[in-house]
């Protein structure tokens, strides 16, 4: 599907164009489970607290938070992933449906367990987290099904996001075949990488690691505050993966983009930080939508950096508030 953007649109026009996008998110989708309660005694069976449950909540996790951010921007978010035929898989699919998210690319497999991360919280203190998951790569048959489904959906989409949490849905083979097909179709690919597949994202459009991922992925150390040294690492990244562009999130230092001949470092906006959880999901969602609309690098990085900072003002993982992002964009971009 050809892009719908133009380079010189206003902020109002850009935000209106978000509503016309279809965004395919390929990767690890999971459930986040929260159990809130209170501790009033220690167990007689072992020296551990007994949590009396007050309430429970299920939320979309992993690639699910990217889906919610893309949807919050006004675009149609489509998941392409593999989950189990187990009860958590049923709950995950129901959560996707309840949110009005497109599940055309969701594949269920009896040979796969669904990832669920359960957090037990007493008062404001997390007592324990229980992860039910596998990080084994999906089977050859499952991979074939995933690639086939992605290829069915890509021609109807404006951009593909690879959302990798190292849980096994994405492998070198799947990444290569999906990327090659997207490139043939003229659909840009935007990547939120993790360590295991870091060097597998060859020939993608925009690659978005944070500093830790960049250091671990390339196995290099560098001083981010020395511009020439940092740029040399970014050059190495682009050359190693044959990338069109890189967007590096720098935490409290802001963000850096090297794309379409522009190299820009943007400072972080001064915020009252409540929680950094989920900020990267917001950044990749905004960046991907801007890439789909053929926006210049300063808009891609500026708006993404702004959105990542905004969600840090909220406690917990929350999708971006489009109206607030638009208001601040008009004031600062």
Q: Which residues are catalytic?
A: 281
Q: What is the pLDDT of residue 172?
A: 97
When pLDDT is averaged across residues 207-230 and rounded to a whole number, the result is 95
Each residue's pLDDT tens digit, 83-95: 999 999 999 999 9
The helix or strand, by DSSP H or E, that contains position 297, with its residue range, turns out to be: helix 297-311
> Comparing C-alpha atoms, which of 236, 318, 242 is closest to residue 281?
318
pLDDT at residue 59 tops 60: yes
> What is the number of residues in the chain?
333
Whole-angstrom CA distances from 183 to 155, 170, 204, 257, 270 are 11, 18, 8, 21, 38
Per-residue pLDDT band for 309 (boundaries 50, 70, 90) equals: confident
pLDDT at 314 over 60: no
The 10s digit of each residue's pLDDT in 250-289 is 988 889 999 999 999 998 765 554 334 568 899 999 999 9
pLDDT over 90 percentage in the chain:
83
Neighbours of 192 (CB within 10 A): 27
SS3 270: coil
Per-residue model confidence (pLDDT) at position 254? 86
pLDDT in tens, 93-150: 999 999 999 999 999 999 999 999 999 999 888 899 999 999 999 999 999 999 999 9
Q: How many helices (H) and strands (E) in the chain?
A: 10, 13
Exposed e or buried b per residue across 108-147, where buried means at least 16 C-beta atoms within 10 angstroms of its C-beta: ebeebbbbbbbbbbbeeeeeeeeeebeeebbeeebbeebb
pLDDT of residue 276: 42
Q: How does residue 77 score in pLDDT terms, banded at 50, 70 and 90? A: very high
Task: Give the pLDDT mean for 195-211.
Answer: 97
Closest CA to 225 of 250, 200, 208, 197: 250
pLDDT at 3 over 60: no
Q: 49-62 and 76-84: which strand pairing?
A: unpaired
Among the residue ranges 50-54, 184-188, 308-312, the one predicted with the least confidence is 308-312
The closest alpha carbon to 54, from 35, 82, 70, belongs to 35
Three-state SS string across 165-221, please? Answer: CCCCCCCHHHHHHHHHHHHHHCCCEEEECCCCCHHHCCCCCEECCEHHHHHHHHCCC
Distance, in Å, from the CA atom of 247 to the CA atom of 63, rounded to the nearest integer, reads: 19
| Distance between CA atoms of residues 246 and 263, nearest Å | 10
pLDDT at 224: 93
Pairing between strand 29-42 and 116-122?
parallel
CB crowding 28-44: b at 16 or more within 10 Å, else e? bbbbbbbbbbeeeeeee
Q: What pTM value is reported for the model?
A: 0.93
pLDDT of residue 313: 61
Cβ(226)–Cβ(239) below 8 Å: no
CA dihedral sign of residues 318, 324, 329, 331: negative
Residue 315 confidence (pLDDT): 42
Question: What was the pLDDT predicted at 275?
Answer: 37
pLDDT above 70: percentage of residues in the chain: 92
160-183, pLDDT tens digit by residue? 999 999 999 999 999 999 999 999
């Amino acid at each position: 599907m050809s892009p719908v953007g133009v380079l010189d649109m206003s902020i109002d026009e850009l935000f209106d164009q978000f509503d016309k996008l279809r965004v395919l998110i390929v990767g690890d989708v999971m459930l986040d489970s929260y159990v809130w309660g209170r501790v009033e005694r220690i167990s007689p069976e072992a020296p551990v607290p007994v949590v009396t449950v007050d309430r429970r909540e299920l939320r979309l996790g992993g690639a699910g938070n990217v889906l919610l951010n893309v949807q919050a921007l006004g675009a149609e978010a489509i998941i392409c992933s593999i989950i189990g035929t187990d009860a958590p898989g049923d709950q995950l699919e129901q959560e996707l449906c309840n949110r009005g998210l497109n599940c055309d690319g969701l594949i269920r497999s009896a040979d796969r367990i669904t990832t669920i991360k359960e957090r037990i919280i007493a008062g404001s203190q997390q007592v324990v987290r229980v992860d039910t998951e596998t990080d084994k790569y999906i089977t050859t048959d499952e991979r074939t099904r995933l690639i086939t489904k992605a290829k069915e959906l890509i021609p109807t989409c404006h951009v593909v996001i690879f959302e990798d949490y190292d849980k096994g849905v994405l492998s070198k083979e799947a990444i290569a075949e999906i990327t090659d097909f997207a490139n043939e179709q003229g659909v840009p690919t935007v990547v939120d990488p993790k360590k295991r597949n870091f060097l597998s994202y060859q020939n993608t459009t925009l690659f978005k690691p944070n500093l830790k991922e960049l250091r671990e992925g390339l196995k290099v150390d560098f001083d981010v505050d020395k511009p020439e040294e940092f740029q040399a690492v970014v050059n190495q990244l682009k050359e190693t993966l044959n990338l069109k562009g890189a967007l590096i999130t720098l935490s409290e230092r802001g963000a850096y983009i090297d794309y379409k001949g522009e190299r820009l470092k943007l400072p972080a906006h001064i915020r009252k930080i409540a929680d950094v959880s989920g900020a990267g999901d917001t950044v990749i969602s905004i960046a991907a939508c801007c890439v789909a609309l053929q926006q210049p690098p300063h808009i891609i990085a500026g708006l993404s950096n702004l959105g990542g900072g905004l969600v840090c003002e909220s406690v917990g993982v929350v999708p971006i508030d489009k109206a607030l992002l638009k208001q601040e964009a008009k004031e600062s971009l």
